[in-house]
Structure 1
Amino acid sequence: MAASTFPALLLAAMLLLMPGAEAVWLELPPSGTKCVSEEIQPNVVVLADYAIMYESHPTSHPTVAVKVTSPYGNTVHHNENATTGQFAFTTSEAGNYLACFWIDSAEKGSGTSLNLDWKIGIAAKDWDTIAKKEKIEGVELELRKLEAAVESIHHNLLYLKAREAEMRTVSEKTNSRVAWFSILSLGVCIVVSVLQLWHLQGFFRKKKLI
């Protein structure tokens, strides 16, 4: 019993250290746009389901439009006149992915509510389908989840290490530029001081003060 419980507990602990599923409740106004963003690494699977919750606004039944864009502005999903929908993609760029929703029907009422279930990485995998396809269950399935979690955490650490190296390079370049600017400023001050001294000497000589 303890042996079968340990992998599940370890998996739960690992999942707390990494991005996974996130459920968001959005209140869409009659006019305007509501957006949700998530910073995601490259080569990560993203799966999201969205649906209008008519229970909160029973008198109106509008439809919504959704647009998901990558950090560089590329459209990865676009849908109109929807009440429910899903988008799934594998990220090719690192950065903030933006999902925007707005009411696009003539019937807007007082707005509507939308539920967004956003899953990233290991949380986006359909483990039931994988278990049936590969005929695994129990401890073996939990170990497979642990393996996927460890791999995802490893990729996260490599990504953070690369970002740290990139930020260090930018910081070093900035410090180098500041140092050169300081030297240049000091040189300009010295030249200006010498010119002022030369000008004052000439002025005093003309006035026969020296």
Structure 2
Amino acid sequence: MLLHYVFLALVLSPFRASAFYFYGYGGDRKCFLKELSKDTFLKGSYNLGVYDDKLEDYALPSQNDYGIVIDVEEVFDNNHRVVHQQSSPSGDFTFLALESGEYKICLQSQVNNWIGKTKTKLEVAFEVGFEAMLDSKRKDTLETLHGKVNILNSKIMEIRREQQLVREREESFRDISESVNSRAMWWIVIQVILLILICVWQMKSLRSFFVRQKVL
């Protein structure tokens, strides 16, 4: 019975989704951090609304007046930019993570004409998964048993990739720790050698001093 509930949970949640919105002004830039494993897709959907005094609400602006600039950067690679896209006020974009790590997704409203400082509302939604999973949602193949099994297999692959990412981080941390410990050990050895050399030098100096003073 427990396995049955786990299966349903995995099937009904074939991808990780998050949606939110924020208010600002034309030209504002907002960035989001996403941890992605290798070979996973990120699909982003956005909708820019501009405040209309007549409607007293936010409405979709003209494409001639506003646009959206989308940037995706690899945080783990000194913020290397891998996507730079200019698009309409409403739409979506997809991105394939070629390496495991943290990515920064930035969206900036762009004013194409001088129309003053206007209040804006940007709605953003992200879906993270595999291409087959995202396609299955659009084509409504979740109703078939074959589609559900494929999604479950993709979920298992995703979990394995997440585990691989954790193992890679553990290996990196272990290598750094071993390197630090090795340097600390060599520093202690060097200190001991210097201490021995100083002691030998002091003993020779004292012996020479006592000889000159005819003590020895």
Shorter-normalised TM-score: what interval? 0.7 to 0.9
Farther off after superposition, 118-127 or 182-191: 118-127
Please name the residue that 1:102 is paired with: 108
Please name the residue that 1:141 is paired with: 147
Alignment of 1:118 with 2:126, yes or no, is yes
- 1:47, 1:119 within 8 Å by CA — same for their partners in 2? yes
Farther off after superposition, 172-181 or 81-90: 81-90
Give % identity. Answer: 20
1:84 to 90, 115, 121: 90
Q: C-alpha separation between the residues in 2 aligned to 1:32 and 1:201?
A: 78
Q: Which amino acid aligns with 1:90?
A: L
Farther off after superposition, 83-92 or 54-63: 54-63
1:190/1:158 CA distance change after superposition, 3 Å: same
1:197/1:126 CA distance change after superposition, 3 Å: same
TM-superposed CA distance for 1:110, in Å, is 5.5
- 1:57, 1:111 within 8 Å by CA — same for their partners in 2? no
Matches within 5 A, 1:183-194: 183-194=189-200
Task: Tell me the alpha carbon deviations over residues 12-40 of structure 1, each in whole angstroms, 9 at most, x when there is no partner.
Answer: 5x86xxx7212232344566632111121
Please name the residue that 1:7 is paired with: 7
Please name the residue that 2:72 is paired with: 68
Structure 2: tracts of 5 or more residues without a match: none
Matches within 5 A, 1:22-41: 22-28=18-24, 33-41=29-37
Please name the residue that 1:195 is paired with: 201
- 1:11, 1:146 within 8 Å by CA — same for their partners in 2? yes
Aligned length: 202
Task: Tell me the alpha carbon deviations over residues 67-99 of structure 1, each in whole angstroms, 9 at most, x when there is no partner.
Answer: 112343443322336412322121112222111
Please name the residue that 2:44 is paired with: 48
Cα RMSD (Å): 3.7
Farther off after superposition, 147-156 or 115-124: 115-124
- 1:28, 1:113 within 8 Å by CA — same for their partners in 2? yes
Q: C-alpha separation between the residues in 1 aligned to 2:50 and 2:161?
A: 40
Q: Which amino acid aligns with 2:19?
A: A
- 1:68, 1:98 within 8 Å by CA — same for their partners in 2? yes
TM-score scaled by length of structure 1: 0.73
Q: Which amino acid aligns with 2:100?
A: A
- 1:67, 1:75 within 8 Å by CA — same for their partners in 2? yes
Q: Which has the higher strand share?
A: 2
Q: Secondary structure at the match of 1:182?
A: helix
Structure 1: tracts of 5 or more residues without a match: none
- 2:100, 2:165 within 8 Å by CA — same for their partners in 1? no
TM-superposed CA distance for 1:202, in Å, is 4.6
1:163/1:63 CA distance change after superposition, 3 Å: same
Matches within 5 A, 1:145-160: 145-160=151-166
